[in-house]
Each structure stands twice: as structure tokens, then as C-alpha cells.
Amino acid sequence: MALIIRHAFFWAIFIAYEITYVRFTAGVHSSFIRYVVYYILNIVLFYVNAHLILDFAFFKTSRPYPVAFGLILLEIAIYLVFKFIIDLLMLESTISFLDKLKNAEQFSLINIWRAIYFIGFSIAYWSMLYMLRFKEKNHRIETEQLKTVTKNLELENKYMSVENAYLQNQISPHLLFNSLNFIYNTVYLKSEDAGKGVMRLAELMRYSLVSADDTRTVMLRQEVEQVENLVELCRMRFGEEFFLRFRKKGKLAGVRIIPLILITLVENMMKHGDLGEKRLPAQVMLAQQENKLVFETRNKKRNTSLYPKGGLGLKNIEKRLNNYYHERYTLLTRDVKDLFTVTLTIDI
């Protein structure tokens, strides 16, 4: 709307200037209706030339200058036809029409000049618009380039931060394993069970750290070994108050899975489940059935828990499974009375 108002304001000033100039210099004056009709014709010529002829020639053809020149000639011819028809309709008598025919050459020259006059203004207007478009396009390109550079710098800074954090964290595992070896050598002399517990913990920690760097898969037997380590650690901790059965069925050799999935499910069961009920022991089942790997944990629910039950562990597992297996897995949970069951099925 603002653009229309600006254009209307420009044409009002231009028309007022032309009418005033002609009246005071040549003493020529005409009726209001004639001014309206003739200026509408000239304004239509102005915009048709700018937004149809020039846009088509320069933006949709491979040879813009010859095409533009040819279309402008055609445009002038059509303008002369419309001008002649309007003049004919505006004439008040047949005598005036005959006079117009006698001066056809003068009529053509005057109106061709008038058409060229408005076409020239139109070309200047179109050139200004083109420069503004070109400037805006360059500004957008520069803005996008700056955004890209900024994003690249942000990514580079994040990468450097992660790399530095990773390098700094390399100190911790070495310190941890050296400390665990020292504790093992010290404790083993006094308690064989405690020494075995330290070694199992060390193996679990080493597997977790090494597997975390592997974005692909590990052998299933490696994951199972660490699940058994975790189970034995808990058995050593709780002694006679720990009841869990781990069953394996089918051909499991040669199977590969993403790491730390099964361990996390068992650890989640031990954290939130009640594994101290002899009549209702916890169960872990691993089986291969028709090219599907099935892993299930089942446990009695604990009435009270030291850990918050936010389901974060299961959500993280599901994200990892979805990232790697996409639609080739199902992760189901069943919460029935006193039992909580998690069943993972992977299409291998």
C-alpha cells in the first residue's frame, strides 16, 4: 500500500508539472477527461515497458538487448494504434478526423516521440529497480556467507572444546586403572573376593570407556561378559540376599550389537528392582530366534528406591537404538502389579 501511495504521489506531481508547463509556455489547455484518458495510456505504457518488456527480455531470454529492442518497437506500434483510436473517439467532428488523416506523418512523429519519452523514463525506473535488486541480492548473499562463517567458527570452537575436554579426560581413566590395580594388589592379599571385585569393576570401566569410542558395534560375547561381570559384582555385594537368573539360548556366536545397551538394561533393573526376593528372583534372558535377538529383564518392583524414577536410562537407550537400527528394533516395557519387564528385540 505504501508503494502504491508513493507511485500515485509521483504521478500527481509529474502530471501537474506537465500541464502547468504546457499551459503557461504554449497556452494549450484541454478538458479534464482528455487528461485522464491520455495519461492513463502513457502510464500503462510506462509500467508495461518496465515490468513486462524489460523483465522478460533481461531475465527470461539469452539475448536481452536484441529482444528488448524488438519488443520496444512493437510496443511503440501498438501505442500508436491505441493513441489513434483514442484520438478518433475524442474528436468532436468528421472534419477534425479528416484533418488528422492529412497530418498522419506529423501525428506519427509527435506520438512516437511521446512514446519514446515515457519509455525512456520507464527504462530509468527499471534500471533503478534492477540496481536495488542487485544490491539486496548481494546483501543477502553476504549475510548468508557471514552466517555460514559464523556457524563454521562456532562448530570449530565446539570441536576444539570437545577435543580439549576429551584430551583432559584421558588423564582420568589412566589414573583410575592405576589406582584400581594398586587397590587390587593391596586388597587381594587380605581378601580374595574383594580383589576379584576390584578386577571386575576395572574390566567394566575399561569396557565402558573403550566401547564409548566405538560408534559401530561390538561382539555380543563381549557385551555378555560385562553383563556377567556386573551381575557378579552385585552378587558379591549383596551375598545371600541377591537372587538373579541369567539364561542364554540359541546361537549367539558371531552376533554383533551396539555396545552398552544390554549392560544398561541390567544396571537399570538392579538400580530400581527388588532382587532380594527368593520366591520371585530377577530374570535376565538372552536368545536368538529366527534372525532376531531377544533380550529381556524381569524383576520385582521395589517399594522404595534411592534413585529417582525418571525413565532417563530407557529413553537414552531408545535414542541410541533408533539412531543405529531405525525401524529394526522394538523396546517394550510392561508394568504389571509387582513386576516390571523390559523386552528388547533386534532384527539381526
The pLDDT tens digits along the chain (348 residues) read 788 888 888 889 888 888 887 788 767 677 788 888 889 999 999 999 999 999 999 888 889 899 999 999 999 999 988 988 888 787 654 445 556 555 666 777 888 888 999 999 899 999 998 888 888 888 888 888 888 888 888 877 776 665 555 444 444 455 555 556 656 666 666 666 667 777 777 777 777 766 665 457 889 999 999 899 888 888 887 778 889 999 999 888 889 998 888 988 998 888 888 888 888 899 999 998 888 999 999 999 887 655 556 556 788 888 888 888 888 999 999 988 889 999 999 998
Calpha distance 319→313 (Å, rounded): 10
Calpha distance 71→77 (Å, rounded): 10
Which residues, listed in sequence order, are joined to residue 340 by a DSSP beta bridge?
Answer: 299, 335
Amino acid (1-letter code) at residue 3: L
Residue-level pLDDT at 329: 94
Calpha distance 4→8 (Å, rounded): 6
**β-strand pairing of 244-249 with 273-274:** unpaired
Residue-level pLDDT at 254: 87
Residue-level pLDDT at 91: 66
Domains along the sequence of the chain with CATH: 31-149 (no CATH), 214-347 (3.30.565.10)
Residue-level pLDDT at 43: 92
Calpha distance 282→303 (Å, rounded): 15
**What is the SS3 assignment for 85-118?**
HHHHHHCCCHHHHHHHHHCHHHHHHHHHHHHHHH
Residue-level pLDDT at 207: 75
Calpha distance 255→238 (Å, rounded): 32
